[in-house]
Amino acid sequence: MKKIVIGITGASGTIYALALLKALADNPEVETHLVMSKWAKENLALEATGYTLADVRALADYTYDERDMGARIASGSFRHDGMVVVPASMKSIASIATGMGDTLVGRAADVTLKERRPLIVVPRESPFNQIHLRNMLTLAEMGVEIIPPIPAFYNRPKTIADIVNHTTEKLLDHLGIDNELSPRWDGMASAKVAARND
């Protein structure tokens, strides 16, 4: 069974975290470990997701308080198959890039890096300033995968869920988890046929 750590931070885009958690909850071969920052909890209500904090926690197998530095996911001896910070605020990215480890999200990410396990961050900010870009470059040079939630339109999305699922599919792909959440590129000929059929 794969063990995946999910960190949700205070950037806009809680919907991406919810989509990933739902996809993982539907997979019996995956066990999830969730930690949410204080501002992630605020955004859950602010962004009118329709989910309560209890609803989000119910999507995960294990949940942790962001102040619990004694949690399992704070230790390198807890073996897992990857961590995703989604959405990733610029504060959280800076914390991870500098090794501050001042919250459980940052500490779990730091442990993921030191143990050479996959770490994915989903940055939600626009535009990026030089500090943001330097911090992300620092992470990329350490092998962190930076996957911003940028929509594709070749798959002809019709709903917000279609757009979100494109990013979720990418996250699952990079975690090595099979999925078919979004239509995949099948060549120019197929795209032209789809366009004619719309």
**Given the DSSP bridges, would you call strands 62-65 and 2-8 parallel, antiparallel or unpaired?**
unpaired
> Binding site annotation covers 82?
no
> Binding site annotation covers 37?
yes
> Binding site annotation covers 89?
yes
> Binding site annotation covers 114?
no
Query: How much of the chain is in helix, strand and coil states, percent to nearest 5?
Result: 45, 15, 40
> Binding site annotation covers 170?
yes
**Given the DSSP bridges, would you call strands 2-8 and 83-88 parallel, antiparallel or unpaired?**
parallel
> Binding site annotation covers 92?
yes
Does residue 17 come out as left (phi exceeding 0), alpha (psi in the -120 to 50 range) or beta?
alpha
> Binding site annotation covers 10?
yes
| Binding-site residues from annotation for FMN | 10-12, 37, 89-92, 124
| Binding-site residues from annotation for dimethylallyl phosphate | 154, 170
| Binding-site residues from annotation | 10-12, 37, 89-92, 124, 154, 170
